[in-house]
Amino acid sequence: MLEKLHLGLIVSCQALPDEPLHGPEIMARMAAAAAEGGAVGIRANGAADVRAIKRAVSLPVIGIVKRNYPDSAVYITPTLGEIEELLDAGADIIAFDATRQSRPGNCTLEQIIDLLNASPAASMADISTLEEALYAESLGVGCVSTTLSGYTPYSRQQEGPNLELLELAAQRLKIPVIAEGRISQPAQVEAALGLGAYAVVVGSAITRPQLITRQFAAAARKVRMNNNGNERPN
Ligand SMILES: CC(=O)N[C@H](C=O)[C@@H](O)[C@H](O)[C@H](O)COP(=O)(O)O
C-alpha cells in the first residue's frame, strides 16, 4: 500500500466542524479534485469523511480521527477506539500521534501500534522529533510523518516546514519518512523529495480556501493601507 505513495503528493482533505467546507460530501469532492490534479493519496479526518472519500476516489486513504480528551494534549487518533472506527471505515493507512506526550486514559503508544500491526491497515506515526521517529520505527510502524513538528511544546517552532527534521529522519530511519506540515509551495515539495522524503503531504495550501483567501486579501489590504489608510474590516 505504501508503495503506491512513493515520490508522490498526498493531499490532506480536512475541514473541522467549525470550518466552512465541513462535511463528508464536500471533502469527497475535494478528494476527487485532488485526484484529478495528480495526487497519489488522500489524508482525511473522521470515519464519515474516510467512507465518503473511499467511494469517490480509488486512491489510498490515510485516515485519522481528531478528538480532544480533557486529560491529554494528544488529539490525532489518540486511543484504540479511534483506530477501531477507522478500521471499520476501511482506511488503508491509519495515522496517529506518536509523540511522547501522555495519551487519554491509560492508552499507550505500544498498544496503538500492536493493534495496527495485527490489522489489515498500514500505520503512519505522526512525530515531532527525531527521537520519536526512531522510537516509532523500533515499535514496528510502517512509516513516519513529520506532521507534529512545531505542534508539541518541545519540538522546533517555525513558520515553514521542518526540512531539517525530515532530512535527518530520512537518513537515520529504514522505513519511509513522509514530509508533512506547513508545506505551501511546489518548490518545497521538490525540496522535501530531494532531501529523502518518501512522499509529501500538503493540506491547508490546497484544501483550506479560507486560509488561501486570507493571504490574497492581506496583499490587497496592504495596498489599501499604503494608498490612503482607508482600511475596511475584511
Ligand atoms: C498538526 C495537525 O493537526 N495536523 C493535521 C493532521 O492531519 C492537519 O490539520 C494538517 O492540515 C495536515 O497535517 C497537513 O498539514 P498542512 O495543512 O500544514 O499542509
CA of 229 to the centre of ligand 1 (A): 36
CA dist., res. 49 & res. 216, Å (int): 29
Helical pair 109-117 and 80-89, crossing angle rounded to 10 deg: 20
Atom of ligand 1 nearest to the CA of 148: 1
Asked if the interface predicted TM-score (ipTM) of this complex is over 0.90, the answer is: yes
| Domain at 21, CATH number | 3.20.20.70
Q: Is residue 220 part of a domain?
A: no
| Tens digits of residue pLDDT in 183-225 | 999 999 999 999 999 999 999 999 999 999 999 999 999 999 9
Q: Is residue 77 part of a domain?
A: yes
Pair 24, 50: CB distance under 8 Å: no
CA of 232 to the centre of ligand 1 (A): 31
Residue 114, domain extent: 2-208
Atom of ligand 1 nearest to the CA of 147: 13
Q: How many domains, the chain?
A: 1
Cell of 228: 490612503
Q: Which pTM value belongs to this model? A: 0.96
Q: Is residue 141 part of a domain?
A: yes
| Tens digits of residue pLDDT in 70-90 | 999 999 999 999 999 999 999
Degrees (nearest 5) of the Cα angle 107, 111, 117? 150
**CA-CA distances (angstroms) from residue 162 to 41, 110, 148, 183?**
21, 26, 10, 9
Q: What are phi and psi of 193, to 5 degrees?
A: -65, -35
Residue with CA closest to ligand 1 atom 12:
203
